[in-house]
Structure 1
């Protein structure tokens, strides 16, 4: 008479492994189904704006000529790099550039590749009660996305 292993059912290890895989899959699906918050949507818009401004700055450096960024009622456009962006619904923006007399509202920015011809600017974007500021540093040429302390 031979001793046979039990052939029915699952071992404890197999059940635990299946539960781990199932919980990871459920967590992944749940995170994808969650609607984006205002903060997430605003972060995406601010990062997209900063990336587009960097592209315009690189084009200005390549072409050795300023690249205009035109502010529209619903977003902005940069013809030199074929960009036309619409803000998410409900987003409000305020485009400002620094002059000798302080900050002033502007309808266009000129992105320049050369350090002494760069414009210092800031774009305040708001969605619901959340704000972000995209800053253009005239000296370094860097473009930053600032998140206020909360």
Structure 2
């Protein structure tokens, strides 16, 4: 019988090649997770804002009063619903209202139930390279996230 050759294991070159492949795959996975995390945070913030604005609009219709939504340093508040929200870290929002001269910055949106008293407004939310725009349509009363964009 011929003596079997003893297994020598992996060479240094084989181990380095395996580590390089593992590092590349890990880098791809981490970058995908990080990118989707930013997108998810922007989407959640926009949808939460839309839900809160709709609730304020329903309150305005039910009570036949204007319900103000106030912009704060780090988020927004709706006193009529006892809501105080903070933006996710890194999110910057620009609140804008349209009047006869065009779009202008505002610190307060007035939610109203009656069609003729509604105002056209948008809230542009940016976090890193992701942008979401929440729009308030004065005619239909619809509040929605406009087609999302990435910069």
Paired with 1:84 and 1:41, the residues of 2 have a C-alpha distance of: 18
Q: TM-score, normalised by structure 1?
A: 0.75
The answer (yes or no) to whether the contact 2:69–2:111 under 8 Å persists in 1 is: yes
Paired with 2:58 and 2:99, the residues of 1 have a C-alpha distance of: 23
Q: Does 1:112 align with 2:129?
A: no
* Structure 1 residues 94-143: Cα deviation after superposition (integer angstroms, max 9, x where no partner): 00000100000000000000000001000000000100000000000000
State the aligned residue count. 117
Corresponding position of 2:9? none
Q: TM-score, normalised by structure 2?
A: 0.74
Segments of 5+ residues of structure 2 without an aligned counterpart are 1-32
Paired with 1:98 and 1:77, the residues of 2 have a C-alpha distance of: 21
Paired with 2:144 and 2:101, the residues of 1 have a C-alpha distance of: 23
* SS in structure 1 of the partner of residue 104 of structure 2: strand
Corresponding position of 1:93? 93
Q: Does 1:134 align with 2:134?
A: yes
Corresponding position of 1:21? none
Paired with 1:39 and 1:101, the residues of 2 have a C-alpha distance of: 33
Corresponding position of 1:62? 62
Q: Does 1:42 align with 2:71?
A: no
Paired with 1:147 and 1:113, the residues of 2 have a C-alpha distance of: 25
* SS in structure 2 of the partner of residue 123 of structure 1: strand
| Structure 1 pair 84–149 and aligned structure 2 pair: CA distance change class (3 A) | closer
* SS in structure 1 of the partner of residue 134 of structure 2: strand
Task: Quote how far apart the aligned CAs of 1:149 are.
Answer: 4.9
Written as runs of structure 1 = structure 2, the 5 A alignment for 1:66-77 is: 66-77=66-77
